[in-house]
Amino acid sequence: MQFKNIIGQAEVKEQLVQMIQGNRLSHALLFLGKEGSGSLSLAIAFAQYIVCENTGGKKPKPKAAEVSMFGDAEPVSITQDSLTATDACGICSACKKANELIHPDIHFSYPVIPRKSGDKPISTDYIKEWREFIAANPYANVYDWLQFIGAENKQGNITATECNDIIRKLNLKSFESEYKILIMWLPEFLGKEGNKLLKLIEEPPPNTLFLLVAENEEQILPTIISRTQLVKIPLLTNKEVETALELQDVAVEKAQQVAALSEGNYREALHLLEHAADDWQGLLREWLNAILKGGPVAQVKWIDDISKQGREKQKQFVKYFIHLLEQAVRLNAIGDDPKNTESIAGNERDFALRLNKLCSLSQQEAIINELDKASYYIERNANAKMLFHALSIKLYHIISNNSLILVN
């Protein structure tokens, strides 16, 4: 994987390259980024950059000069381009192996489950599945991974046995590259077993590099955090997500809508794209008309329809309503000047302006609070008919007479 294949994160890429070119590479880095930001992809691309034979990264010591057929030594040269390259070449032997996740000096550790009762699993047991998973889902989360390996309701872990295997592997000599690299995905799953790795992280063998990829700093052992250099991975911008979707032949308007809803999470954007054909705006228009004009009969019909949708669709619909209300609040604050609201799609701007005419700022805030609660209950398998019926009544009172605002 090369830096150029990763969405956005230009500043982080430059920071990583400067570590190598400025000879400021720490032996342990903690890539800290929320789900969908690309932190795992960045760690893999960084490892490839380091082992690449044609970049400014650390390279194997030059082989002894080969002797030509006439007895003269063939010169070994390093070009200036190789010292200033900002990405792995992608064509050398090391890059090809790293790209397929088979480089012998790049090791991986990640949460796994026992295949059968009594097993003490290690990451290597699942290396074939891991390679397939990363190739297909470089922005996926741990839930996707555990479902991919058939965990169902089992909890994934990085076990004490895995820690012992890491110690064993990293104490061996490197095979091809100057560096041995361990990429550990989600050290949050280490638990107290991670104490086994403290001495190795603090005093690693020569040319050993730890790349820890985490989402939640609070769940990592403080003793591990204190031994690493932090590399913060920010969420993607809406524009970066939008551009990435457009490169997959997603229509511009749909890419804008999905990017705005994903909130910088590319995994979520891909997930939303699965429901991109759904007309959330039309569904919302029907709901509001049923609440304010249609009466009980129209409301019951709409609630029957939404309750037949799956839980994921119900969540996305509620999330979209919250998104439109947030756009309405934004328009309320900065006005409808096109120069200040370029990121709001045209059809969403029109709907948001109508919401501003329908509700005051305090009413919009109350509705968002109720929708947040509804989203929480949907995730916990609440009865859809009861939930949306109660929500319809609450929205009616909020919009009509502010009664629920006073209660809140």
The CA–CA distances, whole Å, from 368 to 128, 314, 325, 395 equal 44, 15, 7, 10
Alpha-helical (H) ranges within 274-360 are 280-289, 296-307, 311-334, 346-358
Read off φ and ψ for residue 32, nearest 5 degrees.
-115, 110
What CATH number is given to the structural domain containing 347? 1.20.272
Q: Is the dihedral of CA 216, 219, 220, 223 positive or negative?
A: positive
pLDDT at 64 (0 to 100): 44
Q: Rounded to an integer, what distance in angstroms lies between the CA atom of residue 284 and that of residue 328?
A: 15
Residue found under tokens 């309405």: 328
Each residue's pLDDT tens digit in the chain (408 positions)?
A: 899 999 999 999 999 998 888 888 888 999 999 999 999 999 999 999 999 988 744 444 444 444 444 444 343 333 344 445 788 988 999 999 999 999 999 999 999 999 887 788 899 999 999 999 999 989 998 888 988 998 877 888 898 999 999 999 999 988 888 899 999 999 998 878 888 899 899 889 988 999 999 998 888 888 889 999 999 999 999 899 989 998 988 888 778 878 887 888 898 888 878 766 567 788 888 999 999 888 889 999 999 989 888 787 888 788 888 888 888 888 877 765 555 445 555 567 788 888 888 888 888 889 999 999 998 898 888 899 999 999 999 999 998 876 655 554
Same-domain pairing of 79 and 182: yes
Same-domain pairing of 258 and 318: no
pLDDT at 319 (0 to 100): 83
Q: Rounded to an integer, what distance in angstroms lies between the CA atom of residue 104 and that of residue 107?
A: 7
Same-domain pairing of 222 and 346: no
Same-domain pairing of 254 and 360: no
Q: Rounded to an integer, what distance in angstroms lies between the CA atom of residue 121 and that of residue 154?
A: 13
Same-domain pairing of 95 and 164: yes
Same-domain pairing of 199 and 297: no
Which one-letter amino acid corresponds to residue 66? E
Same-domain pairing of 265 and 362: no
Give the three-state DSSP class for 9: coil
Instruction: Supply the range of the domain harboring residue 269.
Output: 239-273
CB atoms near residue 354 (< 10 Å): 14
pLDDT at 77 (0 to 100): 36
Same-domain pairing of 326 and 363: yes
Closest CA relative to residue 41, chosen from 109, 140, 113: 140
Q: Rounded to an integer, what distance in angstroms lies between the CA atom of residue 209 and that of residue 385?
A: 54
Boundary residue ending a domain (234, 265, 292): 234
pLDDT at 79 (0 to 100): 39
Same-domain pairing of 335 and 376: yes
What CATH number is given to the structural domain containing 85? 3.40.50.300
Same-domain pairing of 203 and 329: no
Q: What is the DSSP string of 149-166?
A: TT-TTPPPB--HHHHHHH
pLDDT at 81 (0 to 100): 47
Say how many domains are in the chain: 3
Residue found under tokens 């091809």: 176
Same-domain pairing of 200 and 113: yes
Same-domain pairing of 180 and 36: yes
